[in-house]
Structures are given as structure tokens and as C-alpha cells.
Amino acid sequence: MPSSTYVMDYSLTDLEHLFVQLNQPRFRAKQLHDWLHCKHAFSYEEMSNLPKQLREILSEQLPLNKPSVADRQVSSDGTRKYILRLHDGNLVETVGLPSFDSHGEIKRLTVCFSTQVGCAMQCAFCATGKEGFTRNISSWEMLDQIAVVERDFDHRVTNVVAMGQGEPFLNYDETISALRKMNDETRFNIGARHITVSTCGVFSGIDKLSDEPEQFTLAISLHSAIQDIRNALMPKMENQPLRQLKKVLGNYIRKTNRRVTIEYLLIKDINDQEEDLNALISFANGLLCHVNLLPMNSVEGSELQPSDSVTVDHWVQTLNSKGIETTIRQSRGSDISGACGQLKNQWTSDLS
């Protein structure tokens, strides 16, 4: 039996042992396991094929510790942002981003999930970074975020990005364990290529990811290819310089033969000048990569502003003309602070 009192840590065999102790037939363990891991149940009451008395015993002895939705906001573009209250009271944010077909039906549902409560990276453009780090999130808590969105939309989650609060590679083992469970066909069955992990560029994490057998997608938050500017925007990455980052990415690409996504937030007059563009071209040169340009979203209390559309178009055209495949990632959910860099547990009303 696991030392944990957290029911999600129990394997099927553990549950069978537990049910023997509870004088319950062994098949009940399989039923419970299915509810927990295939049907993503959020309460024992939902487990309709378990006897009521057994459900009561289990909820006393093995609480599910599922998160509750403390707040939910819906954007005019269909994006939904959730503030989840974890079992210990900590709050974490998750965003559901639907894409619709011409009939208005959801064709793709992407979840942007958090890997840490708060974040220690202090990126200058990010609301979360201003809050500081509280704790790591367990793999089950990451899966719960996916389940909350799936249940709320009543639609299968097709894509996930570890791009919410936190630096995933500072919580590497739990993050990779969560990605595997998302990929597991008996759980969420999300294709590995539709699972993206986004990092500030933590070398050790990139190296480790290159040894993982799954074809997860790697995204790097670059935001400047000029060292001084990157240091100012991402102060905690100062000790992981750009020249070495390029080498580490080169090794990753050589080992995995997988394309890396480079995320670049365009901030007016900070990192959107011609020399910034030339530095990005030179950084991307020789790397199997795709550049995602993200016009900056406004963050309360920050003076940083988005680049204008003429600059954004110029960047896309120039990069593409140099053979660097580049797209603009349209911001989603900015009216509910659900867009990149805006997550910071803002409430629709004061619920605390």
C-alpha cells in the first residue's frame, strides 16, 4: 500500500488490498479505479455502481481531494478561465481554449494548465511572476485541471499546453508524469504531438526531455535574442545564456529530430526594433524551429505595451522571407485576463 493517503496514488493492486481489508469484493476495486482514472470522477457520489455505504466509508478514509472551481469567467471568444481551489486552499489558474468549425461546433479544445502555484521566474511581462512561488503542483493536480475543462465544456480535450502558471522544468518529474498520463489512452488519450511543454529555457529540463521516448512538443519562451534585453525581461535566466541555449536546443533537435517552437512576445520599444529582429534571425538560423510571435497583452500595473500591427506584420514577413517559418499567435481571452502573461488569480467578484 502507498504511504500516501491520496487515493489517486493507489494502483489497482493497492485498491484491491484495501478492499480486502474493508471486506469488500475485489471487483469493487476495479470499479473505483475506473471512476478515478477513466471517468475522472470528482466525487464519490458520482460513483453510482458503488454501494452508498462503501462510498461513505471511502470518503471518510480516502478523501478525493479534488479541486473546486472558485471562479469561472467566459470570454467573448469562447475562452474560459478557471480559478481552482486546490485541496490545501491554494489557488491555481487553468484556461480552456475552444476552436470552432464553420457550424460553430468545437473542433479543438486546448487546455493551458499550470505546473506550479505561483512562479519564481519573475518575468517582467508576467502577472504570475509578480506573485512569487508557493509550491509545486502534483501530476494529479495537473490532470484535474484537464478534467475540470473537459467536464465544463462537455467536450474531449484535444490539445494541452503546460503554459499556465509556473516553470514546468522546475517541477520536471511531476510535469512529465502528468504529460504521460494525459497521453495514456486509458485516461485522456491526447496525442503526444498535441502535448506541449513551454519553458523559459531551463537547460537541464531540455536535456532530460530529449531522452524521453514520447514526442512531446517543446516550446521555448525566448522573448529576446539579445542577452541584455533578455536578462531584463527574464532575470532568472541570466545564468543560462543565449549562446548556450542555442547549443542545448541544437542537441535536443539532433537527438529527437523534432521541431522546437520559439515563443516571442512583441513588446513595443523593448524588443521589437530592427536589431532585435536581426538577433532573432541569427538565433533561429540553423535550428529546426517555428517562431510564434505573440503581441503582448496588457498586464495591470505594467507599463509594457504591445507592438503595433505594422511592426508585427513586418516581423512575420521578414522572418518568413529568411526561411524561418513564423506565425502570429492570436491572443485569446484577453478580456478575462486569460491570455499569456495575464494569469494572476483575478476574481470576477471578491469571493475570498
Answer yes or no: 93 catalytic: yes
For the bound state, the minimum distance from the C-beta of residue 300 to ligand SF4, rounded and expressed in Å, comes to 14
Footprint on residues 322-341 left by ligand SF4 (CB under 6 A): 341
Size of the site for ligand SF4 (CB under 6 A): 12
Site track 180-219 with ligand SF4 (rule: CB under 6 A), x = hit: --------------------x-------------------
Applying CB under 6 A, which of residues 121, 226, 262, 293 lies at the interface with ligand SF4?
Answer: 121
Reading the block at residue 44, the C-alpha cell is: 464519490
CA angle 220, 181, 82 (to 5 degrees): 70
Choose between 295 and 341: whose C-beta lies nearer to ligand SF4.
Answer: 341
- Cα angle 296, 261, 291 (rounded to 5 degrees) comes to 55
Nearer to ligand SF4, 7 or 202 (CB): 202
Environment class of 146 (CB within 10 Å of its CB; exposed 0-12, middle 13-18, buried 19+): buried
Nearer to ligand SF4, 121 or 287 (CB): 121
Q: Which of these segments, 4-12, 22-30, 117-125, 290-298, binds ligand SF4 (CB under 6 A)?
A: 117-125
Q: For the chain, what's the residue count?
A: 352
Q: Mind giving me the DSSP string for 95-164?
A: EEEEEE-TTS-EEEEEEE--SEEE-SS--TT-TGGGT-EEEEPPHHHHHHHHHHHHHHHTS---EEEE-S
Active site residue 212: no
96 belongs to the binding site for ligand SF4 (CB under 6 A):
no
Nearer to ligand SF4, 15 or 200 (CB): 200
Nearest to 98 by CA among 86, 110, 90: 110
Using CB under 6 A, pick the residue from 126, 226, 242, 289 that binds ligand SF4: 126
Least distance (Å) from ligand SF4 to the CB of residue 205? Answer: 12
Catalytic entry in 16, 93, 141, 167: 93
Active-site residue, from 119, 123, 289, 340: 340
CB of residue 138 vs ligand SF4: minimum separation in angstroms? Answer: 18
Examine residue 179 and tell whether it contacts ligand SF4 (CB under 6 A): no
Quick one: which of 225, 221, 155 has its CA closest to 190? 155
DSSP secondary structure letters along 161-187: EE-SSS-GGGGHHHHHHHHHHHH-TTT
What stretch of H or E contains 21? Answer: helix 12-21
Cβ neighbours for 321, distance < 8 A, ≥ 6 positions apart: none
Site for ligand SF4 contains 166 (CB under 6 A) = yes
Q: According to CB under 6 A, which one of 41, 92, 112, 123 is a site residue for ligand SF4?
A: 123
| Residue 94 CA: distances (Å) to CA of 47, 145, 192 | 26, 6, 20
Among 73, 75, 110, 128, binds ligand SF4 (CB under 6 A): 128
Residues lying near ligand SF4 in the complex (CB under 6 A): 119, 121-123, 126, 128-129, 165-167, 200, 341
* Active site residue ranges: 93, 340
